[in-house]
Structure 1
Amino acid sequence: MNQTYSLRSFGADLIELLGSMRFAVSLLMFICVASIIGTVLQQNQVANSYIDQFGPFWFQLFDQFAIWHVYNSWWFLLIMAFLVVSTSICLMRNTPKMVRDMRSFREYVRGSSLRAFHHRVEAQSPQAPAQALQKLAPWMQSHGYRYKVRQDGEAIMVAAKKGSANRLGYIFAHAAIVVIAVGGLLDSELPVRLQVWLGDKQPITQNMLISEVPETGRLPAVNPSFRANMLLPEGSSSASGIVAVGDGVLVQPIPFSIKLNKFEVEYYSTGMPSSFKSYVEVNDPDTGESFERLIEVNEPLRYKGVTVYQSSLDDGGSKLKLTAYPLEGAGGKPFPVEGTVGQSSQVTLSGQGGAHDVTVDMSGLRVINVENMAPGTEPQPKAMIDHVAAVTGSAAGASNEHLRNVGPSVQYRVIGRDGQAYEYNNYMLPIVLDGHAVFLAGVRQSEAENYRYIRIPADANSSVAEFMHLRAALQDPSLREQAASSFAQANASNDTQRPLLQRAVQGAIDAFARGGFNAIIERVPENERESVLGFAVPMIQLTLTELYDMDRERRGLEANSHTEEGADWLRLAVLALANLPDYPAPVFMSLNSFDQVQASVFQIARSPGKNTVYLGCLFLVIGVFSMFYIRDRRIWVWITPEGDGSRMQAAMTSQRRNLDFSQEFERFRDAFRRLFT
């Protein structure tokens, strides 16, 4: 029996806790803190960006709380569920009391207790109580009061009220919290996660075709709520989207198929996208119905309870034609490479260690690159969200005289023999920087980094071919030796100095070929490096001039280093060769031409909670209006006979006794005295 009582006591205490105002306010505070995190910290980014921002230790700690996607984290959904329970209990406990209080006139208040009210008034009337009541009733009705009369012997108690709907404000406001929270839970990842936690669904972590995904990796078509992505190249169709769940994905079928007939992107004069347009064909397998529709940003397709939004754009498998320039050794010759964006290619290179294969992943093609070409800046490929922001208006009105469309660029990853992978971003056309036409070649090791660029000077044919010839010549030991000898022959003051100068030049040019200027000064004390570079830089430049002329003569071309254009080009080439060790790549890919295949990225969603949230917002408006604009007023008038007349006692009260209430009581007091005197 004691155990049963203990369980009942625990249950009662638990209900009391869940239904308490303190518990609900605490939950709201946690939700506010989570909302701050979700607003300040950019959500749903790649893990590397968070590791770079916080470091490995803090990343692992914060990852336990899933702050990278706060609004779908387990603890946020749990708080929302507790808020629904807490507010529902509060409603169930207090709504009947409030309804009874709204309907009650409280006519059984004792007349003697009216003297305890702060806002009270007394008066005497020469009329009998019944006649005084007849005089009071019209005044009550004209001022919007409903009243009830209780006869207590010869005395009369009149209880009047207006604005009782004020209590509805509390009911509707609390109901709004419940309804909005339920709507938020319906539109969250909770329905999908419940199927993973309680069902047999297993997110897919391997790369495979959608047709190969097993049943455990597919959500039901009648899934009540989901938010998925669909990438659709031009000319292709699909009837399923991809839902991200943790580190894997699930396939979400939809009740119709979408075929992308045409995808259009319009641009501003600056080159920024102004609009995305997807011309699609919708096919319903259940009815056989087929129709065409235009999907734009802020103009989604709605059909069969599913909404299809224009999210962004991507590459749908463009065909690329490139020229590969080996960057190892002196014997490699350029060769053509064909690839497809989103696929890998095997490239065979012949270096000092013999022929070997490297894997090249063609990761992207950007036909339009709008860059800030202000002095002192380097272009950086824009994230897709930046292009979407331009379409949706946040960048549409931006004005910058330095914005330029610098033409197409290709992004690829090279995976070497050691498994090390770098990402590269090379522009197809030369860009004029500081008055010179150069090709920009960028490299980075992860998406969390910005690209680091080297500037390769464009030759007379607007290509990198001449620079690659010079690079190969620099890697030829015999040519370096001849160039060093020629430099010593031209610059030594006598025969005794010539071999000494040649050895010095030979050592410097060999070190430069190995690692740029850093290789020359790596063993020089810090305080002497500036003076050494002051001597080495012009010596290297003059030696490379000899080397360049020898290489051109060997190729049957006329030496042009003596011309002004040739000297400028060679100066830029020396700087590029000095920076080439910072471009760790076995091969350089130059984009020649491409056949673009565009793809539209759609976000498909079934959100039954949307209408629920709208209903909750309506409840909230009603609740706030009722609480702040409907004023609750109660008046009691106690009429007792006194001689031939009556003695009147009246009191007035309200839930909020503010300045307006005091002024209203003063008007009531004056009217009451005029009425009975």
Structure 2
Amino acid sequence: MTVDNSTSPKVNFFSLPVRFLKREVLPILTNLRLAIILLLIIALFSVSGTVIEQGQSPAFYQANYPEHPALFGFLTWKVIQVVGLDHVYRTWWFLALLVLFGTSLTACTFTRQLPALKAAQKWQYYDKPSKFKKLALSAELDHISLNSITPILTKNRYKIFQELENNDILYARKGIVGRIGPIIVHIGIVMILLGGIWGAMTGFMAQEMIASGDTFQVQNIIESGAWTSQDVLKNWAVKVNRFWIDYTPKGGIDQFYSDLSVVDNDGKEIDHEQIYVNKPLRYHGVVFYQTDWGISGVKVKLNNSPIFQLPMALLDTKGQGRIWGTWVPTKPDLSAGVSLLAKDLQGMVLIYDAKGKLINTVRSGMSIPVNGINLKVVDIVGSTGLQIKYDPGIPIVYTGFALLMLGVVMSYFSHSQIWVLQVGEKLYFGGKTNRAQVTFEREVLGILDQLTQQGQK
């Protein structure tokens, strides 16, 4: 026996996932509570990324966030590193929150904002007096011509629609841009999120400590995204022409500067900038910030010897301030020597013997006798601390912020609508608005007063 299945219903398996998304997933994504919760969570972790130092070494977090006592009773270095609070903006879960929030806004835009805009663009004439009773504001005027209202509405910046076949019906509106504003706001926020994600996935951050006079290529990258490419760093380098510090009259640091040149592979200068705090160098999207300083070396001369430069190292002072030191041999067989210490670039150098006793102090350019020789401190060589960032998502973020501000301004415009119907000697007038109800009422009363005055004339 055979069975004819030609009339049996066919199941479209491709439509099942689409139906599930529309019925189950889409209502959740477009839920306002979900969007608010996601926004609060993103804001909370963004604040934590500002408060908790980002990109530091494990030793830094162990020293500043110990287990006993734990900050707030739970925040320790282990929690910070396990959760990823030391690099919040590049963690998978923070990026996932941004994607989910952006998806929610996009879904809301297509399911709510765009239909609302389409509905606002659709309108109909009110051809019956009974329809005016449904409006929040309505009035009946006697012995008023419909044609007399047209110039008044035009003066109030209304766009007027009127049937060619029936001159007794009129519709006017203004502020349709207010319906577009929320859509622009959503687009702006989504662009900000996309820019942040793109920057986190493709950007990098590096730190360099470069001595004055040296040329370097960016290499010490401490943070980078999964899709980061270093092609932007090829075929050019940066030369530190000079680094110096301006001091206050009391000896404190007023500002430190770096004179930088971008050079090609042949050493030819292709860009130049004198940077300081809050004034960086920008080249091909890579930004060089002035963030730190140090002492890289000291130039000395022994008797009539050539000038030679000795490196200076940062010493451990147990939190008592920063000081740099080096050792200068005073005999050819290196059997004797003195230690030089400096704490800044003002030129003061302390000289200690092998037993740790202070022998003398000297400034740059001065000479003193030490261990039977003449020691001259020619100069103290400073080093500039640079933080280098590359974030290709910044233009997208800036565009998103511009759209966000534009959308907010547009959203303040009220979408106001007015209907007018002429039936014999009676003029039916009515209107409504989506916001600024009091202002709209005053405007309507002003229009009615002008019509009444014209009727009395």
When the two structures are superposed, what TM-score results if normalisation uses the length of structure 1? 0.50
Match of 1:649 among 421, 428, 431: 428
Q: Alpha-carbon deviation of 1:161?
A: 0.6
Q: Alpha-carbon deviation of 1:655?
A: 0.5
State the match for 2:180 in structure 1: 168
Kept after mapping to 1: 8 A contact 2:176/2:415:
yes
Q: Alpha-carbon deviation of 1:289?
A: 4.1
One-letter amino acid matched to 1:621: M
Kept after mapping to 1: 8 A contact 2:260/2:275:
no
SS at match of 1:227: strand
**2:246, 2:358 → 1: CA distance?**
34
SS at match of 2:434: coil
State the match for 1:299 in structure 2: 279
**1:594, 1:365 → 2: CA distance?**
25
Evaluate the alpha carbon distance shift between residue 608 and residue 180 of structure 1 in structure 2; reply closer, same or farther with a 3 A threshold: same
**Higher CA-based Rg:** 1
State the match for 1:229 in structure 2: 207
Verify: 1:635 aligned to 2:414, yes or no: no
Q: Alpha-carbon deviation of 1:80?
A: 1.5
**1:86, 1:5 → 2: CA distance?**
22
Kept after mapping to 2: 8 A contact 1:256/1:282:
yes
Q: Alpha-carbon deviation of 1:636?
A: 1.0
- Deviation by residue 1:225-259 (Cα, 9 ceiling, x = unmatched): 3332233223322222322249xxx9944441112
Verify: 1:85 aligned to 2:98, yes or no: no
Matches within 5 A, 1:244-283: 244-245=222-223, 252=230, 253-283=233-263
- Deviation by residue 1:494-544 (Cα, 9 ceiling, x = unmatched): xxxxxxxxxxxxxxxxxxxxxxxxxxxxxxxxxxxxxxxxxxxxxxxxxxx
State the match for 2:194 in structure 1: 182
**1:70, 1:319 → 2: CA distance?**
43
Kept after mapping to 2: 8 A contact 1:315/1:365:
no
- Deviation by residue 1:297-349 (Cα, 9 ceiling, x = unmatched): 133223333332223223435699xxxxxxxxxxxxxxxxxx954xxxxxxxx
Verify: 1:27 aligned to 2:38, yes or no: yes
SS at match of 1:64: helix
Kept after mapping to 2: 8 A contact 1:296/1:310:
yes
**1:38, 1:45 → 2: CA distance?**
12
**2:167, 2:395 → 1: CA distance?**
55
Kept after mapping to 2: 8 A contact 1:365/1:410:
no
State the match for 1:240 in structure 2: 218
**2:316, 2:245 → 1: CA distance?**
15
**1:655, 1:112 → 2: CA distance?**
22
Kept after mapping to 2: 8 A contact 1:318/1:365:
no
Kept after mapping to 2: 8 A contact 1:240/1:254:
no
Q: Structure 2 stretches of 5 or more lacking a match?
A: 1-10, 68-73, 301-309, 328-338, 343-349, 351-355, 362-376
Verify: 1:609 aligned to 2:401, yes or no: no
Kept after mapping to 2: 8 A contact 1:37/1:67:
yes
Q: Structure 1 stretches of 5 or more lacking a match?
A: 192-224, 321-338, 342-361, 367-377, 383-407, 413-425, 430-438, 440-457, 464-592
Kept after mapping to 2: 8 A contact 1:105/1:148:
no
Verify: 1:669 aligned to 2:453, yes or no: no
**1:409, 1:78 → 2: CA distance?**
45
SS at match of 2:133: helix
Identity %: 23
Kept after mapping to 1: 8 A contact 2:314/2:324:
no
- Deviation by residue 1:634-656 (Cα, 9 ceiling, x = unmatched): 11112222xxxx22221121101
**2:426, 2:187 → 1: CA distance?**
46
SS at match of 1:80: helix
Evaluate the alpha carbon distance shift between residue 381 and residue 237 of structure 1 in structure 2; reply closer, same or farther with a 3 A threshold: same
- Deviation by residue 1:458-502 (Cα, 9 ceiling, x = unmatched): 989689xxxxxxxxxxxxxxxxxxxxxxxxxxxxxxxxxxxxxxx
Verify: 1:140 aligned to 2:153, yes or no: yes
Q: Alpha-carbon deviation of 1:115?
A: 0.5
One-letter amino acid matched to 2:279: E
Evaluate the alpha carbon distance shift between residue 167 and residue 650 of structure 1 in structure 2; reply closer, same or farther with a 3 A threshold: same
State the match for 1:64 in structure 2: 82
Kept after mapping to 2: 8 A contact 1:263/1:279:
yes
**2:148, 2:292 → 1: CA distance?**
74
Matches within 5 A, 1:426-575: none
State the match for 2:70 in structure 1: none
Verify: 1:381 aligned to 2:392, yes or no: no
State the match for 2:365 in structure 1: none
Aligned residues: 389
SS at match of 1:598: strand
Matches within 5 A, 1:320-335: none
Aligned-residue CA RMSD (Å): 3.9
Evaluate the alpha carbon distance shift between residue 82 and residue 365 of structure 1 in structure 2; reply closer, same or farther with a 3 A threshold: same
Q: Alpha-carbon deviation of 1:662?
A: 3.0
One-letter amino acid matched to 2:38: L
Q: Alpha-carbon deviation of 1:36?
A: 2.8
**2:431, 2:340 → 1: CA distance?**
81
SS at match of 1:639: strand
**1:635, 1:251 → 2: CA distance?**
58
**1:164, 1:226 → 2: CA distance?**
43
When the two structures are superposed, what TM-score results if normalisation uses the length of structure 2? 0.72
One-letter amino acid matched to 2:414: R
**2:428, 2:326 → 1: CA distance?**
89
One-letter amino acid matched to 1:238: F
**1:105, 1:380 → 2: CA distance?**
76
Verify: 1:122 aligned to 2:102, yes or no: no
Kept after mapping to 2: 8 A contact 1:164/1:632:
yes
**1:38, 1:640 → 2: CA distance?**
67
**2:61, 2:420 → 1: CA distance?**
70
Evaluate the alpha carbon distance shift between residue 165 and residue 85 of structure 1 in structure 2; reply closer, same or farther with a 3 A threshold: same
Kept after mapping to 1: 8 A contact 2:206/2:223:
no
One-letter amino acid matched to 1:69: H
Q: Alpha-carbon deviation of 1:282?
A: 2.4
Q: Alpha-carbon deviation of 1:177?
A: 0.5
SS at match of 1:26: helix
State the match for 1:290 in structure 2: 269
Kept after mapping to 2: 8 A contact 1:160/1:634:
yes
Evaluate the alpha carbon distance shift between residue 150 and residue 411 of structure 1 in structure 2; reply closer, same or farther with a 3 A threshold: farther
Q: Alpha-carbon deviation of 1:410?
A: 4.7
